[in-house]
């Protein structure tokens, strides 16, 4: 499966302009099966109440419906986080839109210190979605710092199979903390023997600046760039040969 990470600087709270900007790039990516966008890539990283209220949409709003339409039109999955209002609460929700029209999503579990934690509701469900023969764990930004929430676990069906092949982290990760981003992406890949897709924004907003550093990391910790093929045969061969996952400690996520 060929994947591409779109690293860009969203226009602040200008979601229609950002939708148009992303679609211009989508139209050039005919040979890619999965496109990943940064955290809150259609609005910028909004965390204060007035900002959130100005851009939040329901799941059947224009942003999510546009992502669904893109997936059908361009015959590829589209993944990115959106500010969602649901049941009177706000969520930083990672949407995964398939060409079939099906949607999967995961709400950011670890809300960042301060305004985000104060004004968003945390996700409680760990979501793995299958697409094109690859199982993706969907996570958002600050979730990267928490290895337990990112950890591969045995499938519910039992046996020796584990629950995912790749992790997607979408982020608005500040430049001041870029060393952590650069080191934790390969750490999550190595410890889970999985691909990691980390897509971060660039540019500035009213609160911070962002260096990007987006990358697909393979199961050995190698940086494959922002456009690459996920070689599932190589992944399975590596897991079969180097069976460190069998020695992983068993645990329950509460």
Positions marked catalytic: 39, 108, 141
Q: What's the 3-state SS for the chain? A: CEEEECCCCCCCCCHHHHHHHHHHHHCCCCCCCEEECCCCCCCCCCCCHHHHHHHCECCCCHHHHHHHHHHHHHCCEEEEEEEEEECCEEEEEEEEECCCCCEEEEECCCCCCCHHHHHCCCCCCCCEEEECCEEEEEEEHHHHHCHHHHCCCECCCCCCCECCCEEEEEECCEHHHHHHHHHHHHHHHHHHCCEEEEEECEEECCCCEEECCCEEECCCCCECCCEEECCHHHHHHHHHHCCHHHHCCCCCCC
């Amino acid at each position: 499966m060929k994947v591409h990470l779109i690293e860009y600087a969203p226009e602040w709270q200008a979601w229609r302009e950002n939708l148009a900007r992303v679609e211009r790039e989508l139209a050039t990516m005919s040979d890619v099966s999965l496109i990943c966008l940064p955290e809150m890539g259609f609005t910028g990283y909004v965390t204060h109440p007035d900002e959130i209220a100005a851009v939040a949409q329901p799941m059947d709003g224009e942003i999510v419906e546009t992502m669904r339409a893109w997936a059908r039109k361009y015959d590829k999955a589209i993944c990115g986080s959106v500010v969602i209002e649901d049941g009177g609460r706000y969520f930083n929700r990672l949407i995964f839109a398939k060409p079939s029209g099906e949607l999967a999503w995961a709400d950011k579990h670890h809300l960042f210190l301060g305004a985000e934690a104060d004004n968003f509701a945390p996700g409680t469900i760990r979501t793995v979605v299958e697409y094109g023969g690859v199982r993706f764990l969907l996570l958002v930004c600050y979730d990267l710092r928490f290895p337990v929430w990112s950890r591969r676990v045995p499938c519910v069906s039992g046996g020796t199979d584990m629950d995912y092949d790749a992790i997607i982290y979408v982020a608005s990760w500040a430049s001041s903390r870029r060393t952590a981003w650069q080191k934790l992406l390969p750490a999550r890949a190595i410890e889970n023997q999985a691909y990691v897709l980390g897509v971060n924004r660039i540019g500035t907003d009213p609160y911070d600046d962002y260096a990007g550093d987006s990358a697909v990391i393979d199961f050995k910790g190698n940086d494959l760039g922002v456009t690459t093929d996920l070689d599932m045969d190589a992944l399975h061969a590596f897991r079969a040969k180097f069976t460190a996952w069998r020695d992983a400690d068993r645990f329950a996520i509460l």
